[in-house]
Amino acid sequence: MLQIKQIHHIAIIATDYQRSKAFYCDVLGFELLGEYYRAERDSWKGDLGLNGVYTIELFSFPSPPPRVSGPEACGLRHLAFCVEDVAQSIAALAEKGVTCEPIRIDALTGKACTFFPDPDGLPLELYQA
C-alpha cells in the first residue's frame, strides 16, 4: 500500500525569477535555502523554505507558456498559507504593495481567508490558523 508521509514541495515556474524570488522571500518571508543556475536549460532554480523546511521550488524558464491560473479554473486551484491573523497579514502585504481581496469567511469552518496573486498571477491564499 502506498504510504505518503507529507507533501515534499510545490514547484512554481516564474516568468521573472528575480522578481518572484524577491516576492516570495522579501514579501512573504520565505528563506532562500539554495539557488542553482542550470546553463543547459537557461534556467534558475531556487529552493525556498519556511522555518528551515524546504517548501517551494521556484523555477525560471525562457518564455514559459501561460497557464490558466484563476482560482476557479480546472487544475491546481491555489496555494494556501496559514496565518494567525488574516486582517493583520493583509495590512502587512499592503505595506509591501500587495493587494488582497476582501476577507471571506469559510462557511464550513468559520475561519477568515483572503486571496492575492503572486507576480505571475498565481492565486495565493491566507487562511486563519
| SS3 label, residue 129 | coil
CA angle 52, 58, 40 (to 5 degrees): 120
> Do residues 78 and 123 lie in contact, with contact meaning Cβ atoms separated by under 8 Å?
yes
Number of domains in the chain: 2
pLDDT in tens, 55-70: 999 999 888 887 776 6
> Quick one: CA torsion of 61, 42, 52, 121, rounded to 10 degrees?
-20
> Do residues 100 and 125 lie in contact, with contact meaning Cβ atoms separated by under 8 Å?
no
- The last residue of a domain, from among 18, 44, 63: 63
Same domain, yes or no: 37 and 77:
no
* Domain, as residue range, for 8: 1-63
Same domain, yes or no: 48 and 105:
no
Same domain, yes or no: 5 and 45:
yes
Same domain, yes or no: 81 and 59:
no
CATH number of domain containing 119: 3.10.180.10
pLDDT in tens, 11-38: 999 999 999 999 999 999 999 999 999 9
pLDDT in tens, 71-100: 667 777 789 999 999 999 999 999 999 999
Name which of 125, 18, 9, 121 is nearest 66 in CA terms: 121
